[in-house]
Amino acid sequence: MRKAVDTVFRYLAVLQCVPAHPARKTTTRILAELREKDPEFNVSARSMQRSLEQLSARFPITCETVGRTNHWYWIDSHAMTQLPAMTEHTAFALRLANEYLRPLMPPATLRLLDSYFNHANRLLKGSALGRWANRARIVARGPLLTPPPVKEDVQRAAYNALLNDRLLEINYRSRSQQRSQRVALNPLGLVFRETVAYLVASAWHYPDVRHYALHRMSKPRLLDQPAGTPPGFRLASHIRDELRFSYPLASGNIPLRAAVSPEVAEHLAERRLSGDQRIARHADGRIVVEASVANTQELRWWLLGFGSAVEVLSPASLREEFAAQSRAMQAMYETEAPS
Amino acid sequence: MRKAVDTVFRYLAVLQCVPAHPARKTTTRILAELREKDPEFNVSARSMQRSLEQLSARFPITCETVGRTNHWYWIDSHAMTQLPAMTEHTAFALRLANEYLRPLMPPATLRLLDSYFNHANRLLKGSALGRWANRARIVARGPLLTPPPVKEDVQRAAYNALLNDRLLEINYRSRSQQRSQRVALNPLGLVFRETVAYLVASAWHYPDVRHYALHRMSKPRLLDQPAGTPPGFRLASHIRDELRFSYPLASGNIPLRAAVSPEVAEHLAERRLSGDQRIARHADGRIVVEASVANTQELRWWLLGFGSAVEVLSPASLREEFAAQSRAMQAMYETEAPS
DNA sequence: GGTTAATACGACATAGTGCGTCGCATGAGA
DNA sequence: TCTCATGCGACGCACTATGTCGTATTAACC
């Protein structure tokens, strides 16, 4: 039964089945995959050949003829079409997302999303929204840190190794040693800390689990040997243990009480620290914030950043930490600056 | 003249032209838009009606008949197809992006991107990558602040007003006043500060430009009157001026010199403060970082967050600021905590 | 309330095209 | 050299997409 809608449907399925550039599929493979996915895919091989040929006239797909068989692929993965089409609002949101993510994500990971951002930009360029570049600004916290560049092949290999549970052989240039060293890693997880991506892995024979920054890797090679997970390994608990000293992620919450300046109170009135946050204005003019928050290092950073605009009242242990911190700082700054 | 496979591609064009749910287009509008885009779109209106009806049988599009005219739209914006299909790596990157953005973006803006994230999640669910939820973690800086919810209609109206240069009438509940007030705003720009979105606008007759938080708006109504931009207004300079006290974005860079702990040095070795950052290890064991950085409030927050692990050496003015800050903190904490 | 414009939709005839089938050419592997 | 797999040209037919016309319904306007 030949209906144009069916044809459209089928063509879309074909287009979705054709892979993006580095990969490719033969005509018969595409047909087989589609037949398997949808049993009512009753077209002859000839029709499939014709479909692909037709589609290649209007979409950026081509075939490379090796021998007698055609291998199909998308030429330009940046040329993207989607149904339904992206709206201007969504395009704008994507543009914002891009700006937000740029200082946070490893560049190689971000590059995977480039086609989306490009698509959004192309859409906005034509419309009145194009001016929005000058009409929206993101005021970020913290300075813009420059993310270290990760080699694209390293990123791909690391993701693949983790995905397929395979050993990953790389040159690793650790911070302490100048020269890089060839190691085979047993990938267990990925941790992103600000802009840096770390592969959580155990080196070849050794049982201990360590962190390897992706940007210090080079010359990746996927080994055929399957990787093994140490019994009982769980990424969440590993992070808690491994990063205990630098970034403790305590499980329990603590009841925080702090006196804050009007500016900070205003800040917190809009973005609450927790669901149960309460802000009370005392008789003496001080504003006290109460909230149960996770007892983390990040909390300390964040509170400390406000300086004298925030005074931790309780828990007593946290107050003592801050008192010690301020004593140390005061001692530091009261001496003359060394040249 | 009905050329070969034209029908099929025309149907595709129609599918791309039909908007996602909240929006909708009439049959004639779709025809007009397509005719304008592609001059060889010589089909009768009747054909277009038939096309849409046919497509609605296999694709999630429907029409709502208001009066005598049909308004078409995609039912389920979550059902998305993109060409070429999303790869697993990209899906994973999107998933990460989602996690990164959640604490940063206004929820309503984030919701515009939901279909992408959902699409990615659906893709990952089936594959081996599904486990990646337990294999990747983002270690963020700062506690998770709860973003204030923005009403969806407010967000849409605000974006539309800015896009079409139209006056926006809303109920605004300012922080100081309990009751909300009806105001007509002249939209000029959007500013995102942490998770809060502000509309930069001037109220009806008044010449001064102010910031209106989106989450304090309700009952939006787009007016037909065109909005006007004050002569010489530029968002970037406005932010610099308006936010001078809370978030100064000074234009010039300052040469920062700071003594840091080994941990902070390690941190900075990976994410550089600036392109010219240098880290020197002095004879007495102290590590000194030099970089030219923007002279902003965020820089102070960020440096202060490290507490006694960072000692600002120069510029002298900045060091004096930090010395004063630490004196104030010390004074604060050496007195007993008030109950 | 009457009139007009706009839109949707059913019916019908016809052209022309998508699809299956067949057969041949070509390249790879045994 | 033989065999198998794939691509591709050709052919014929069924069937569907399309334009046209007429009618029903609604909104808008005087």
Residue that is written with structure tokens 């504003």 in the block? A287
- Interface contacts A/B by beta carbons within 8 Å: 353
Question: Which residues in chain B have their CB less than 8 angstroms from residue A229's CB?
Answer: none
- Residue-wise pLDDT for B256-278, tens only, equals 899 888 878 888 887 888 888 88
Higher pLDDT, B250 or B190: B190
**High-pLDDT (> 90) share of chain A, %:** 8
B127 vs B118: CA distance, rounded Å: 15
pLDDT computed for residue A171 by the predictor: 93
Mean pLDDT of A146-166: 85
Q: What is the pLDDT of residues A88-121, one digit of tens each?
A: 888 888 988 998 888 778 888 888 899 999 988 8
A128 touches chain B (CB under 8 A): yes
Q: Strand, coil or helix: what is A314?
A: strand
B236 in contact with chain A, both atoms CB, cutoff 8 A: yes
**Helix, strand or coil, per DSSP, at residue B153:** helix
Same domain flag for A330 and A267:
yes
Tokens in use for A218? Answer: 């080079």
| Percentage of residues of chain B with pLDDT beyond 90 | 8
Q: How far is the CA of B24 from the C1' of C16 (A)?
A: 34
Q: Are the C-beta atoms of residues A21 and B87 closer than 8 Å to each other?
A: no
Residue B143: inside a domain? no
B46 touches strand C (CB under 7 A): yes
Q: Which pLDDT score, from 0 to 100, does residue B1 have?
A: 38
Q: Is B146 inside a domain boundary? A: no
Same domain, A260 and A324: yes
A149: in domain:
no
Say if B178 is an interface residue toward chain A (CB within 8 Å): no
Helix (H) or strand (E) holding B91: helix B88-101
Q: In this complex, which of B271, B293, B313 lies closest to A194 when CB atoms are compared?
A: B271
Residues of B in contact with A313 (CB under 8 A): 337-338
Residue B250 has pLDDT above 60, yes or no: no
As a whole number of angstroms, the distance between CA A80 and CA A92 comes to 17
Give one DSSP letter per residue of A318-339, joined into a string: HHHHHHHHHHHHHHHHHSPPP-
Question: A242, A261, A289 — which closes off a domain?
Answer: A242
Cα angle for residues A244, A247, A251 (degrees, 5° grid)? 70
Q: Which residue has the higher pLDDT, B208 or A71?
A: A71
* Residue A269 contacts B where some CB pair is shorter than 8 Å: yes
Is residue A115 within 8 Å of residue A80, measured between CB atoms?
Answer: yes
If pLDDT is split at 50, 70 and 90, which confidence band does A241 have? low
Q: Are residues A297 and A316 in the same domain?
A: yes
Both B262 and B328 in a single domain? yes
Distance from CA of A13 to the nearest CA of B (A): 9
Cα–Cα distance for residue pair A115/A78, rounded to 1 Å: 5
Please report residues of B whose CB lies closer than 8 A to that of A97. Answer: 97, 101, 105, 113
CB atoms within 10 A of CB B111: 16
Q: Is the CB of A128 under 7 A from strand D?
A: no
Average the pLDDT over each of A240-244, B62-66, B70-74, B323-327 and give the range with the smallest value.
A240-244
Secondary structure (3-state) at B20: strand
pLDDT digits over A2-15, tens only? 678 888 888 888 88
Q: Does A258 touch chain B (CB under 8 A)?
A: no
Q: Which of B105, B175, B274 sits opposite A269 (nearest CB)?
A: B175
Q: Which domain holds residue A41?
A: 4-74
pLDDT level of residue B185 (50, 70, 90 thresholds) = very high
Tokens of A77: 């993965």
Q: Which residue is nearest to nucleotide D19 (CA to C1')?
A: B44
Assess whether B11 and B64 both reside in one domain.
yes
Whether B62 and B22 share a structural domain: yes
- Is B189 close to A293, i.e. CB distance below 8 A? no
Cβ of B84 within 8 Å of Cβ of A6? The answer is no
Interface of A with B in 10-69 (CB under 8 A): 11-12, 15-20, 54, 58-59
Instruction: Say yes or no: B238 and B253 in one domain.
Output: no
CATH number, domain with residue A305: 3.30.70
Decide: CB of B6 under 7 A of nucleic strand C.
yes
Looking at the predicted structure, is the pLDDT value of residue B171 above 90?
yes
**Could you give the C-alpha distances from A322 to A279, A284, A303, B332, in angstroms and in order?**
21, 23, 9, 10
In which band, very low, low, confident or very high, does the pLDDT at A72 lie, cut at 50, 70 and 90? very high
Q: Do the Cβ atoms of B258 and B295 come closer than 8 Å?
A: no
Question: Is residue B308 scored above 50 in pLDDT?
Answer: yes
Report which DSSP code applies to A80.
Answer: -
The rounded mean pLDDT for chain B is 82
Residue B184 lies in a domain: yes
Is residue A156, in this structure, part of any structural domain at all? no
Measuring from the CA of residue A26 to each C1', which nucleotide is nearest? D6
What pLDDT score does B242 carry? 61
Arithmetic mean of pLDDT, B299-321: 87
Let me know whether B17 and B48 are in one domain. yes
Question: Which residue would you say has higher pLDDT here, B57 or B237?
Answer: B57
Return the HEC string of A281-294.
ECCCCCEEEEEEEE
Q: A92 in contact with B at a CB cutoff of 8 Å?
A: yes
* Residue B287, phi then psi, degrees to nearest 5: -110, 130
Is residue A18 within 8 A of residue A63, CB to CB? The reply is no
Distance of CA B113 to the CA centre of its chain: 10
Q: Is the residue at B83 inside a domain? A: no
Are A312 and B288 a contacting pair, CB within 8 Å? no
CB-closest option in A109, A127, A188 to B93: A109
In Å, what is the CA distance from B252 to each residue of A261, B247, B289, B299? 28, 15, 19, 13
Say what the pLDDT of residue B245 is: 43
Indicate yes or no: strand D within 7 A of the C-beta of B47: yes
Residue A141 lies in a domain: no
**Which amino acid would we find at residue A157?**
A
Structural domain ending residue among the three candidates A242, A268, A300: A242
In sequence order, the β-bridge partners of residue A82 are B82
Same domain, A122 and A196: no
Question: DSSP character for A13?
Answer: H
**CA pair distance B81, B15, nearest whole angstrom:** 11
- Pair (A58, A24) in one structural domain: yes
A287 touches chain B (CB under 8 A): no
Examine residue B315 and say whether the peptide bond preceding it is cis (omega within 30 degrees of 0).
Answer: yes
Distance B225 CA to C7 C1' (A): 30
Q: How many domains does chain B have?
A: 4
The residue to which tokens 């206004």 are assigned: B106
Residue that terminates a domain, selected from A193, A209, A242: A242
- CA Rg, chain A, in Å? 28
Model pLDDT, residue A220: 93
- What's the average model confidence in pLDDT over B35-52? 82
What is the pLDDT averaged over residues A158-185? 85
Task: State residue A268's pLDDT score.
Answer: 84
Contact criterion met (CB below 8 Å) for B155 and B113: no
Over residues A136-151, mean pLDDT: 76
Confidence of residue A23 (pLDDT cuts 50, 70, 90): confident
Tokens of B254: 């300052």
Say which CATH number the domain at B56 has: 1.10.10
B70 touches strand C (CB under 7 A): yes
**% of chain B surpassing 70 pLDDT:** 88
- Above 50 in pLDDT, residue B31? yes
pLDDT at B210 over 90: no
Q: Which residues pair with A184 in a beta bridge?
A: A169
* Amino acid occupying residue B290: E
Extract long-range pairs of A196-202: CB within 8 Å, 24+ residues apart: A196/A106, A196/A147, A196/A148, A196/B270, A196/B271, A197/A106, A197/A109, A197/A150, A197/A155, A199/A158, A199/A162, A199/A168, A200/A235, A200/A238, A200/A242, A201/A168, A202/A230
List the A158 CA – C27 C1' distance (angstroms).
Answer: 38
B70 and B15 share one domain: yes
pLDDT of residue B339: 54
Strands (E), B96-216: 136-139, 166-172, 181-193, 196-203, 209-213
Q: What is the pTM of this model?
A: 0.82
* In a domain? residue A148: no
Round to whole Å and give the CA distance between A280 and A289.
Answer: 6
CB B278 within 8 A of CB B289: yes
CB B187 within 8 A of CB B168: yes
Task: In whole angstroms, give the CA distance from residue B44 to residue B53.
Answer: 15
pLDDT in tens, B95-137: 889 988 887 788 888 888 999 999 888 888 766 555 666 777 7
pLDDT score for A244 = 47
Nearest nucleotide over every DNA/RNA strand to the B4 CA, judged by C1':
C17
The reply to whether B126 and B193 lie within a common domain is: no
Task: Report the DSSP pairing between strands A136-139 and B181-193.
Answer: parallel
Given a cut of 70, whether residue B170 has pLDDT beyond it is yes
Q: What is the pLDDT of residue A44?
A: 84
Diameter over CA atoms, chain A: 89
